Structure 1
Amino acid sequence: MTSPARLRSLVLLPALLLGLSACDRPSEVAELAPSAPAPTGSQLQDGAFEQSLEGIWSTGIAQGDDAETIYAIEYQTASGLRILRDGAWLAGRVEDVDLDNQTLAFHVDRTQGPGETVTLRKVVHPDVGSAYTLRLTWAQGHDDDLRFVRRLTPRDRQEIGLAISQAGRVPAVACDTDAVEGSLRATLACSHDEFAALDRNLRTQLVELSARYPDGDRTAAVVVQQLDACTTPACLRDVYARWQVYLDDNYDLGDVLDYL
């Protein structure tokens, strides 16, 4: 016959074993990984401001010596703003977003020479509802007033990604050009062997042309104006080729002396 004490121990044994097994098994709360901190309200607002700048923007219709400049601006959550200027990537990063003044500071990194900080400002026009333009102010004080052309298409986004990936693979070459820094001609002459050679050869002939022929300065100025008006690599190739044919057909260059 089992004693009362023995019966009590048998009754308590299952409860004790259940308690021990519960101690050995991690709780559901302990198994949950800590969640990533949620973005702050300020971070969300900054991202929304950057995203609002997306699109194709233009300085407007070209007039005289001022060629139209096209900006493509894309926002990505992971990498922030990505900007192309006439098809050339402005490698850089956002340094500051000032929501009160509707401005953004974007630092442009340059492989040739020091970088600079560009300020993008939304300029609201109350007389036309919620529409606004963009004003880019470069470090030296030069302004580009941009009007909105259209929103980005999937093809635009692909081309932006392609331009950035190609820029990362292009080997650095010696930069020897008289083109305005930041222009498409300068960018390609300083990053592509093909365009560096085209620019160098034509510039050599233009220097000689100006020194030897009465109309040389005027012709050289027209050549440079047409080159700087190009917004695509194909346009530059065409202008280089056409002027090379013209110079070969109308002038005797390259056989007298080196004018550089």
Structure 2
Amino acid sequence: MIAIMLAGAVAALCSLLGTRFLIKWFSTRGQGQPILGKEDLGPEHHMGKQGTPTMGGLAIVASALIGWLVAHTRDIAFSDQAMIVWVGILGMSFMGFLDDWIKVKKRHNRGIFWKQKNYITMLMSFGIAWWLVAATGIEESISVTRAGDLGFEVPQVVWVLWAGLIIWATTNAVNVTDGLDGLAGGSALMGFGAFMIISYWTFRNPEIYSVVNPLDMGVLAASFAGACLGFLWWNAAPARIFMGDVGALAIGAALASLALTLNTHLLLILICGINVVEAG
């Protein structure tokens, strides 16, 4: 429990300070978020947010990683699941960073990857799902919870396709949610908080739940919860910085991966209900 609290606290502090640094960095260089292109339709009042610094997700991802690493000074072993998940998170974040950077440089709200981004993130999602199956002892079943015998077994290829679809859909849902001040960060904070509790409960009751290394996943969830909390100080209305794709894609990958590694796939619909409604 101390490791989980440490991860959240360190990540929150780093995010609070790191986001403030990014606001100053991008503001002094005149690098802000373009809101609407000439071919787009949208609310007129959104134009008032033109030029607000973006790519605040850099602080979220970096802070979460720092919090996760610092928590492992508490004699917690690094798990294969968490490290693979981190590779996926960083890959999605890099993809989002490229898109954000091009938007800022071209002063247009659509990056060069806006048409291809769905296909690239889909391939990355299936790659993460396959790696989890190939390199870890992840449970290859679909269920709401691993209590008792709830859920049903599926062939490995079906699980990979199902898991890849979940990762891809969640990253896109979070990305769509990142449109109002504090909405994506606030909903993500609640989601990571839920997975943090689920992870710790699973860790404390190994005789009931068949999940591998739930504590490390709980630390990961806590680090992202803390990072989102620190970011929200600056992103709540009126937002002084936007999360950007660099943060939204990373958060989506993290939430989906937590649901998969904890084998609570179907609960993801409830935990990320706001994202589901926004995407719909």
Question: Where is the strand percentage greater, Structure 1 or Structure 2?
Answer: 1
Greater RCO (CA < 8 Å, at least 6 residues apart): 2
**Per the shorter chain, which TM-score range?**
under 0.3
Largest Rg, 1 or 2? 1
TM-score, length-scaled by structure 1 = 0.22
Question: Where is the helix percentage greater, Structure 1 or Structure 2?
Answer: 2
TM-score, length-scaled by structure 2 = 0.20
